[in-house]
């Protein structure tokens, strides 16, 4: 992929960020987890070419800045809290019975059901090129 990959999150996300970096290799991704103020994070989102995110505030911020989003949905309903506007891809493997199923899915089964190939295909459809 011709774009730099940047991992963002709050300090509380560091454990998960470390796990992800160990899987993909720290040379492939720049981690800014726990390093940005809210203003800096918004600047990052505004200047992004693409965002891959779960149902979160950063997803909504990127969509508001008209940045294409690959939105990863687990135990919530994307039609209720998905990214607004055209040009986004929503991925959900298991339809939750209610919008607040996240309260009864502590193992994260809905998110774990997402297939990496589906996510990569969505990235490719928004960028016009297959990810490396």
The length of the chain in residues reads: 132
pLDDT in tens, 55-99: 899 999 999 999 999 999 988 889 998 999 999 999 999 998 887
Instruction: Find how far residue 119's CA is from the centre of its chain.
Output: 10
pLDDT in tens, 22-67: 988 778 899 999 999 999 999 999 999 999 999 899 999 999 999 9
pTM above 0.85, yes or no: yes
| Residue 82 φ/ψ, nearest 5 degrees | -75, 175
Which structural domains are found in the chain, ordered by start? Answer: 1-35 (no CATH), 49-127 (3.40.50.2000)
């Amino acid at each position: 992929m011709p774009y730099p990959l940047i991992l963002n999150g709050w300090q509380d996300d560091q454990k998960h960020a470390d796990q992800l970096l160990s899987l993909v290799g720290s040379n492939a991704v720049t981690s800014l987890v726990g390093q940005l103020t809210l203003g800096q994070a918004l600047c990052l989102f505004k200047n992004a070419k693409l965002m891959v995110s779960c149902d979160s505030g950063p997803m909504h911020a990127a969509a508001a800045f008209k940045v294409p989003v690959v939105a990863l949905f687990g135990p919530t309903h994307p039609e209720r809290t998905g990214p607004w506007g055209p040009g986004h891809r929503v991925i959900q493997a298991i339809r939750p019975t209610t919008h607040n199923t996240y309260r009864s899915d502590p193992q994260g089964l809905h998110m774990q059901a997402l297939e990496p190939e589906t996510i990569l295909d969505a990235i490719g459809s928004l960028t016009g090129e297959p990810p490396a």
